[in-house]
Structure 1
Amino acid sequence: MATAASCRKSGRAVKFLTRACSTRAAVKARYDTLVIGGGHNGLVAAAYLQKGGLKTAVLERRHVLGGAAVSEEIFPGFHFSRCSYLLSLLRPHIYNDLELKKHGLKVYARDPHAFTPMLEEGVRGAPPRSLTLGSDLTKNQEEISKFSQKDARVYKDFVIYLENLADAIQPLLDATPVNIPALTTGSPWKRLAATKTLLPVIKCGLTLGRNIPDFYNIVTAPALKILNQWFESEPLRATLATDAVIGAMTSPSNPGSGYVLLHHVMGGLEDEKGAWGYVEGGMGGVSKAIANAASSYGVDIFTEKEVDQVLIDSNGAAKGVVLKDGTEINSKVVLSNATPYITYKKLTPQSALPPEFIKAVDQIDYTSPVTKINVALDKLPNFLAAPTPDNKPGPHHQCSIHLNCESVDVLETAYKEALNGRPSSRPMLEMTIPSVLDHTLAPPGCHVVSLFTQYTPYYVEGREWTDQDKESFADTAFEWIEQYAPGFKSSVVGRDILTPPDLERIFGLTGGNIFHASMSLDQLYLARPLPSLSDYRSPIKGLYLCGSGAHPGGGVMGSAGWNAALTAMSDIKSF
């Protein structure tokens, strides 16, 4: 195991990457199904396709499996969830069906969940105030009462309000959106078959009941409007608002941000709704467990097999793929875990697609505000608001630590700067320190930190990011952290800065968007990724979209992969 001292000597330029093992067997010339991309959705799809009796192969471009849910050893001895960094939204039936616990998935639950320290002078020598939220309602109310007695009283009702709405729409997550074309223009048989797609909507409506107006409100309204209806204290509103904008180029005052807030409370861990946890070994542990399950069923999984193009037969149907090295692999169907843009603009022959479809694909919004910074530290951050000078973690160290979240105005200002093409001068920072709970990630006494930062544009004032721009933004973020936790900068062993173009280049996330397309109202459910294409199928027979660009969207859920696999298996029966 590397020591902090040895890591310091190695410097930031050295990178050691953790490789995932792929199938040792050679790629066959033909499979029943091919999955492009070894992200978590692609692996889920492959597992279910193989379980359904279809010989399946996964073809991953990178040297490591997982897509955005990946673990990498960026500095010697320090293992990071390099992109995605928390688990909550994984669908329970997938977890159980694939026996992921048996296949190595271990999750560390966090309690408390959120810590928001203030930048202020403490009263009579006391530390600055902070807001800590967890699973204990009484403790939450005590924390909130530091800022507002009224907010403390209504907080329980707010949690119930969100949980009820999230519970009601669960059936929609595990079902293909309503098949409008089949219902309206299909043959009598197709119309009858398509009525099945209405059942989840009906169930959702019945569960919502009198809460339908509340659901409509949260889906369409700005998150700030929702939060203002409940709360008056700035730290609480700003802390909750982070879930409404995380990963999205939007502000809490923009319509639709309420849905993003709801999306992030749809999951849970074990019996605790809305909880998020750390995967042992990093988020690659999720992908590894799914890959292990898929391999146990007989899926062939290959890394460093980059697909160049989807092969189309004389009838206009997908018949396999050709790799970058020229190898052709035939199959009955092809599922793409890539973004809609990569799938339909880069991998699919343009002559095989209708011009109006290509034009629509060009209009999909991939705007991203995110720069992810992975940091190796030789000691734990010591926050002024919750001092731990002995380098031993306090409960707050296991949280999502919200910095520059004292008020919604701070978030709004950061957003407006990025809209004008400038990285935020006071960025919203979500810090997590998974090594506090998972000691496999760093050398003894050292820690790994994930900084999920907003807002940064794809272009800096109209030009591409330079290395100097990246270092300057990271310096800005670190200067702010230093104000909350003096000594942070001197503890840094190394840092890995991933701007939106970096996230696009490394992980194939078009625009750097972690959701494979913005989670805006015009790109959800029936319109994800397009109003004409929300059932995982494409204009090309036998080509399916199985990634987060399809319904129900982003996050490590697995639903898109599962739904796409079921759709493909159903279609194959009629081929």
Structure 2
Amino acid sequence: MERHDAIVIGAGLNGLVAAAYMARAGFDVLVLDRASAPGGVSAAHEIAPGFRLPRYTLGSGGLPPRIAADLGLAEHGLRFIRAEGGVSIFPDGSYHASYRDGAVHRREIARFSRRDADAFTHYRRDMLRAARGLAPLLSGPARVRAKGLFAGLRARLSFADRIASIAPDDLNDMLRLWALPMSEYLDTYFESDAVKAHLASAALIGGTLGPCSPTGASRLVGPWLSETGGAMGGAPDTLMPYGGPAALVDALTGVLDANGGRLRLEAEVTDILSKDAKVRGVVLANGEEIGADAILSGLDVKRSFLSLFRWKDLPEGLVERVGRVRMKGVAAKVNIALDAIPEFPYLPEGCPSLGGGLRLTGHIPAMERAFSDWRDRMPPRDPLIDVLIPSLVDPSLAPPGKHVLSALVQFVPETLHEGAWSDDRRDALRDLVTARLAEVSPGIETRILACEVLLPDDIENEIGLTGGDLAYGETTLDQMFMNRPFPGHGGASTPLRNFYLCSPSAHPGPLVMGGSGANAAAEVIAALGGRR
């Protein structure tokens, strides 16, 4: 039987990060993926010849500098583009833009409220404090369980030390942030409906909470996790890999290859070999068996356990625990190729914030109505739409003079109250998105060369992501930190010996791009290194 130190199932972003770390540490690593190209949700996709964008995700975001530096991704050609933080356009034609320059951003807020312009300094300070408080909790496993008296004590002390390192005032603010609804939290800082809506809309995308849901304020800190500087700065920027997410995938596969790792595509893992709760290898769809000292799954938590194992081989109660993990599709993806640059007459000519994205949103009551429709499994009537035109700042993504548009439509249910999505309903959603775009960019519908709509069910069927949940599991407090992927296992290790989760179903989830893969690699390297 072919054998390796470690096998990674799935060549998604986190799987590749984990494999790259292990390969650089000198381990013999094999990555297996059923697709014909690596990348998972970040894989390269052409909606039309020469028009490239990620098929399933928006396309913004980048790895933390620590991970990029650890893996030497710059040596493999990876570069990032820093754009302004984006702009929101409201139904009345007004807009609110984000700027990295603090003075410019405060002038922008002052158009709505001078009081809010002053309040932003306090808000930015508190967001930075919250991000610093979260940082030690995100940089390693959150669980406190370990085998043996002394190992368990060390694990508990390590986690306690991370908690203790948070200043008391920061801890109080963090508890408040994780308890309040987003709307109430923003009310304590701002009076302008437009300012509050601009901040809320950026935080709601991808989540299963509405602006008035308890604990929802915690989502506000996400954009600040990689922000630096002091309280007098502006809004967080938008980070994009030059060449799109596919360039990030190429750099990671380059690291893997340069360090002796292997990537096998069109190699679907159908079963995992285990005995007495100990994993020893995988079985491919063609019947081939491959052994390994450690197996890491880049699949979501439900697929990892309920699809790859015989249920009778799993420890008692594990099937039920995994089954209780909530995974719900909440967003549809619309990809568009444009034969000319779209115009936005409501924005100042050459508005730099447009390069960081465009959100089509109402004020908070409208967002709450959209959330209620999703919760009731109604077809979206007035969804929040997050738009990115990455070719504005990265011309390599489209032919000269042409552009690609990527849109996430928030609060789109996986199934409707009346059953599955029909072709007519899908077409209606496409027309709704096109009409909303045309409201802020007249004539854009005449510039569309190609358009595709992907519903949560499409995402599940195409890449095997349960429920089409791009977050790999709801990010509510009861499913985060030491409760991710499920209570008592806040990290990559699982109740099965030698089996690890490296997908965002594990801590820290989608809060840190590549973080689940990096944390999983650290656990495996420590375990295998000890055996050596």
TM-score, normalised via structure 2 length: 0.95
Q: How does 1:475-494 map to 2 (within 5 A)?
A: 475-494=431-450
Q: Secondary structure at the match of 2:151?
A: helix
List gaps (5 residues or longer) in structure 1. 1-27, 121-127
- The CA RMSD over aligned residues, in Å, is 2.0
Instruction: Determine the C-alpha separation between the residues in 1 that align with 2:60 and 2:390.
Output: 12
What secondary structure is seen at the aligned counterpart in 1 of 2:396?
Answer: coil
Match of 2:382 among 391, 413, 426: 426
Seen in structure 2, the aligned counterparts of structure 1 residues 334 and 527 have a Cα distance that, compared at 3 Å, is same
Note if contact 1:244-1:252 (Cα within 8 Å) is conserved in structure 2. Answer: no
Contact 1:415 1:424 in 2 (8 A): no
State how far apart, in whole Å, the 1-side matches of 2:34 and 2:229 are: 33
Of 200, 208, 214, 1:249 maps to 208
Q: Is 2:62–2:80's contact at 8 Å kept on the other side of the alignment?
A: no
Name the residue aligned to 1:21: none
* Alpha-carbon distance in 1 for matches of 2:450, 2:173: 46
| Counterpart amino acid of residue 296 in structure 1 | A
- Give the Cα–Cα distance (whole angstroms) in 1 for the partners of residues 310 and 452 of structure 2: 36
Aligned residue for 1:496, secondary structure, equals strand
**Paired position in structure 1 for 2:165:** 206
Which residue number corresponds to residue 295 of structure 2? 334
Q: Percent identity?
A: 28
The superposition leaves residues 285-306 of structure 1 with CA deviations (integer Å, 9 ceiling, x where unpaired) of 1121111112111110111111
For the residues of structure 2 that align with 1:269 and 1:68, how far apart are their CA atoms? 28
Shift of 1:380: 2.0
Match of 1:414 among 367, 370, 380: 370
Residue type of the partner of 1:228?
D
Supply the distance in 2 between the matched residues of 1:213 and 1:193 (Cα, whole angstroms). Answer: 26
Q: Which residue of 1 aligns with 2:347?
A: 386
**Which runs of 5 or more residues in structure 2 are unaligned?**
none
| Cα displacement (A) at 1:244 | 2.8
1:47-446 matches, within 5 Å, as 47-88=20-61, 90-111=63-84, 113-120=85-92, 128-179=93-144, 181-182=145-146, 187-198=148-159, 201-202=162-163, 205-268=164-227, 274-313=236-275, 315-386=276-347, 394-405=351-362, 407-446=363-402
Residue 157 of structure 1: how far off its partner (Å):
1.6
Contact 1:69 1:556 in 2 (8 A): no
**Cα 1:348/1:264, change in 2 over 3 Å:** farther
Provide the C-alpha distance between the structure 1 equivalents of 2:186 and 2:400, rounded to a whole number of angstroms.
Answer: 42
- SS for the counterpart of 2:66 is helix
Question: Which amino acid is 1:118 matched to?
Answer: F
Asked whether the equivalents of residues 142 and 490 of structure 2 are also in contact (C-alpha less than 8 Å), the reply is yes
| Displacement of 1:226 | 0.9
Distance 2:511 2:258 in 1: 25
- CA shift at 1:268, angstroms? 4.4
- The aligned runs of 1:26-65 (5 Å cut-off) are 29-65=2-38
Whichever residue aligns with residue 191 of structure 2, its letter is E
Could you tell me which amino acid in structure 2 is paired with residue 117 of structure 1? I
Structure 1 residue 506 displacement after superposition: 1.9
> Following the alignment from structure 2 to structure 1, what is the Cα–Cα distance between the partners of residues 322 and 506?
13
Of 394, 399, 423, which aligns to 1:467?
Answer: 423
Query: 53-62 or 555-564, which moves further after superposition?
Result: 555-564
Q: CA deviation at 1:394?
A: 3.9
Distance 2:62 2:251 in 1: 16
Equivalent pair of 1:44/1:561 in contact (CA under 8 Å): yes
1:339–1:478 distance in 2 versus 1, CA, 3 Å? same
Q: 1:440 to 1:556 in 2, by over 3 A?
A: farther
Instruction: State the Cα deviation string for residues 65-109 of structure 1 (Å, max 9, x = none).
Output: 111122211211100122233444522221101111111211111
CA contact (8 A) 2:204 2:210 kept: yes
1:523 alignment partner in structure 2:
479
- Conserved in 2, the CA contact under 8 Å of 1:426 and 1:480? no
Question: Bigger CA drift: 421-430 or 331-340?
Answer: 421-430
Segment of structure 1 superposing worse, 464-473 or 357-366? 464-473
Looking at structure 2, the residues matched to 166 and 269 of structure 1 have their Cα atoms a distance apart, in angstroms, of: 10
Query: What's the offset of the Cα at 1:310?
Result: 0.8
AA of the residue aligned to 1:286: L
| C-alpha separation in 2, matches of 1:248 and 1:530 | 18
Q: Secondary structure at the match of 1:311?
A: strand
Partners of 2:45 and 2:321 lie apart in 1 by 36
Question: For each residue in 1:326-363, what CA deviation from the matched residue of structure 2 results, as whole angstroms up to 9, or x when unmatched?
Answer: 11111111100000000000012211113411011111
**1 CA distance for matches of 2:374 and 2:433?**
15
AA matched with 1:255: P
Give the equivalent residue in structure 2 for 1:11.
none
Counterpart contact for 2:340–2:401, Cα < 8 Å:
yes
Note the C-alpha offset of 1:552.
Answer: 0.3
Q: Secondary structure at the match of 1:310?
A: strand
2:506 to 541, 545, 550: 550
